[in-house]
């Protein structure tokens, strides 16, 4: 127990105001630089991979994707303020400064819409224990579970609980997928043995510290390193993560020494970086509720999925085609026992925690969101989760901080298998595969996902032939109440449309003669159960099958 006690003492004696020392503010602008950029030339402000992700999911580039106006940033900087980071989605910058003179000069600038205080140094310690303590490092000589692809060591239970080993055995380890990890720091990831595969294969694609405005992240807090190990570690017989073949951006958005609303702005800036750089998945083990300054505190009513800065940024990230995986939080046994943000975001996959037997971990935050959405969405192992530590050894830790990356890594493997699908199709397939999808609750949400089932759900049960471009369009997908099929007939054609459930049963069918031209057929799904279905269309020699999800 000496290891645990030492860590607790270290957390208590670090002053909350150690970094940064000066006050920080968000400066919101009243306009975007529409003259300096063009939607027709998005390559000037988005990477090729970011554009490819959007194109694959039919997501348009909008003015929201434009960077903040450079002249505005320079004018703010000319007042004497230090620029910490910028946010295109929030249309502003975070600055560090002291003294009312500079603040008043900034507020007087004609393009400044708002000045919001984010952080002011205080001698009071943080009222919130930010991260759960790790357990005493455990033995790495435990019997390994049988797997074909990896010898998981002590991480076997958390991988096999999700049936992620099925994906690994099928050849999917996250390769080709990019995960952006937003956390408090990645201490010694550049040297620890667990990450030697990342370094050897150049799969750490980039780093940035949005708290200190620098590229160095390997000398900061160890929490992000531990989180990363749940996905990226590759030490056969010791510890293997759920996505050991994926590539990673390591982004520090959390100041571990304090708790302020500024961190939500850093998070937004980091999420934008992930978008612009072309990440597929955001994995974040950060959760915000109340702060060192009580005037900044959120209320439960704020947890409605679209109010906090972090939730807005998470939704923007999802609308850009990324899968956002967020820890639900470790508040389940406290006065605030609900989820935090950004896990409350409408389009974020919020992850709660269970123990090795699949029983809810008592500290795992409860749902729903304040507007009634199912939260957490799903759960994974977070109690006695296998993680790696800065002492170059494997052990155990507790918290939704670990259940979220375990799930995110598995999602990367699933998406690798179905690379043409959208982020929300992967999102809803994970939900649909979970243990209590038919009867979600406020503790486990839809339950423990089964990635073997998710893989099967997304796989067409019948032979599918490619459909000629422009002939068939099915929307929306996923859908809630109604689904539409647009068919463009080149001549009068007899068309059969079958909608089949995962057991292969036809739940509804349309057989009609369509005349030349574009016709739209509407299906009312309000009485159908949630889940995955398959639309099969037969028209002469044409046979086309597509999976759809009702949520």
pLDDT (tens digit per residue) in 398-449: 999 999 999 999 999 999 999 999 999 899 889 988 988 878 999 999 999 9
Q: Does 243 map to a domain?
A: yes
Does residue 148 sit within a domain?
no
Pair of tokens at residue 271: 């999420």
Instruction: For residue 342, tell me if it sits in a domain.
Output: yes
Average of per-residue pLDDT across 7-22: 38
What pLDDT score does 465 carry? 39
Average pLDDT of the residues in 461-480: 62
In 3-state terms, what secondary structure has residue 262?
helix
More confident residue, 122 or 391: 391
When pLDDT is averaged across residues 321-342 and rounded to a whole number, the result is: 96
Q: What is the CATH number of the domain that holds 294?
A: 3.40.50.200
Could you tell me if residue 338 is left (phi over 0), alpha (psi between -120 and 50 degrees) or otherwise beta?
beta
* CA angle (49, 55, 59) in 5-degree steps: 115
Residue that wins the pLDDT comparison between 344 and 437: 344
CA 126, 132, 136, 141 torsion-angle sign: negative
pLDDT higher than 60, residue 18: no
pLDDT category, 301, cuts 50, 70, 90? very high
On whether both 268 and 333 belong to a single domain, the answer is yes
- Last residue of some domain: 423, 457, 491? 457
334 within a domain of the structure (yes/no)? yes
Domain boundary among 429, 457, 485: 457
> Domain check: are 424 and 484 in the same one?
no
Same domain, 307 and 424: yes
Please check whether residue 195 lies inside any domain of the structure: yes
Specify the range with the lowest mean pLDDT, choosing from 121-125, 297-301, 429-433.
121-125
**Least confident segment among 181-185, 376-380, 542-546:** 542-546
CA angle 458, 463, 467 (to 5 degrees): 90
Exposed / middle / buried, residue 332 (Cβ in 10 Å: 0-12, 13-18, 19+): buried
Q: Check whether residue 434 and residue 286 sit in a common domain.
A: yes
What's the total number of domains in the chain?
Answer: 3
Calpha distance 137→391 (Å, rounded): 10
Does 392 lie in the same domain as 245?
yes
Whether residues 451 and 476 share a domain: the answer is: no
> 429 and 312: one domain?
yes
Check: pTM over 0.85? Answer yes or no: no
Q: What average pLDDT does range 97-112 have in this prediction? A: 90
Report the pLDDT value the prediction gives residue 530, as an integer from 0 to 100: 77
Q: What is the mean pLDDT of residues 249-258?
A: 94
The reply to whether 131 falls in a domain is: no
- Same domain as 542, residue 437: no
Give the CATH number of the domain where residue 519 resides: 2.60.40.1930
439/374: higher pLDDT: 374
Out of 119, 138, 170, pick the residue that ends a domain.
Answer: 119
| 171 and 302 inside one domain | yes
Residue 138 counted as domain residue? no
Residue 125 lies in a domain: no
Same domain for 30 and 62? yes
| Residue 446 and residue 484 in one domain | no
Q: Domain range holding 490?
A: 472-550
Beta bridge partners of 520: 486
Are residue 492 and residue 370 in the same domain, yes or no?
no
């Amino acid at each position: 127990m000496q290891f645990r006690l030492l860590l607790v003492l270290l957390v208590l004696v670090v002053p909350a105001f150690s970094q940064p020392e000066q006050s920080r503010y968000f400066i919101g602008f009243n306009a975007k630089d529409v003259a300096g950029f063009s939607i027709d030339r998005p390559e000037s402000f988005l990477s090729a991979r970011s554009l490819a992700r959007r194109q694959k999911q039919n997501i348009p580039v909008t003015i929201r994707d434009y960077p903040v106006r450079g002249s505005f940033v320079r004018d703010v900087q000319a007042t004497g303020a230090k620029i910490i980071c910028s946010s295109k989605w929030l249309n502003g910058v975070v600055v560090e400064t002291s003294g009312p003179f500079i603040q008043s000069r900034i507020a007087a600038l004609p393009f400044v819409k708002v000045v919001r205080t984010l952080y002011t140094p205080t001698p009071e310690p943080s009222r919130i224990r930010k991260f759960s303590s790790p357990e005493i490092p455990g033995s790495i000589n435990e019997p390994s579970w049988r797997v074909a692809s990896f010898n998981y060591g002590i991480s076997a239970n958390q991988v096999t609980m999700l049936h992620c080993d099925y994906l690994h055995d099928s050849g999917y380890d996250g390769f080709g997928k990019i995960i952006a990890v937003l956390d408090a720091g990645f201490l010694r990831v550049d040297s620890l043995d667990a990450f030697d595969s990342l370094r050897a294969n150049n799969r750490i694609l980039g780093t940035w510290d949005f708290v200190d405005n620098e590229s160095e992240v390997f000398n900061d807090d160890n929490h992000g390193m531990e989180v990363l190990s749940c996905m990226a570690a590759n030490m056969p017989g010791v510890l293997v993560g759920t996505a050991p073949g994926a590539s990673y951006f390591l982004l520090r958005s959390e100041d571990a020494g304090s708790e302020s609303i500024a961190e939500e702005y850093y998070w937004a800036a980091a999420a934008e970086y992930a978008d612009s750089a072309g990440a597929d998945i955001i994995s974040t083990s950060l959760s915000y509720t109340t702060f060192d300054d009580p005037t900044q505190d959120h209320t439960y009513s704020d947890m409605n999925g679209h109010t906090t800065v972090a939730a807005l940024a998470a939704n923007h990230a999802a609308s850009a085609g990324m899968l956002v995986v967020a820890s639900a939080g470790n508040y389940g046994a406290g006065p605030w026992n609900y989820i935090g943000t950004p896990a409350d975001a409408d389009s974020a996959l919020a992850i709660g925690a269970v123990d090795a037997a699949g029983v809810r971990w008592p500290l795992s935050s409860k749902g729903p969101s304040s507007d009634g959405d199912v939260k957490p969405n799903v759960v994974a192992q977070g109690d006695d989760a296998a993680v790696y530590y800065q002492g170059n050894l494997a052990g155990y830790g507790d918290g939704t901080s670990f259940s979220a990356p375990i799930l995110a890594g598995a999602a990367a493997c699933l998406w690798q298998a179905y690379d043409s699908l959208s982020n929300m199709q992967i999102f809803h397939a994970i939900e649909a595969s979970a243990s209590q999808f038919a009867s979600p609750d406020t503790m486990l949400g839809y339950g423990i996902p089964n990635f073997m089932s998710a893989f099967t759900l997304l796989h067409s049960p019948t032979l599918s032939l490619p459909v000629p471009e422009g002939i068939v369009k099915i929307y929306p997908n996923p859908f809630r109440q109604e689904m539409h099929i647009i068919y463009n007939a080149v001549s009068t054609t007899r068309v059969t449309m079958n909608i089949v459930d995962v057991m292969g049963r036809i739940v509804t069918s349309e057989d009609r003669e369509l005349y030349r031209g574009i016709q739209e057929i509407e299906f009312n799904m309000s009485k159908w159960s949630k889940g995955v279905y398959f639309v099969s269309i037969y028209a002469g020699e044409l046979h086309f099958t597509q999976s759809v999800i009702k949520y």
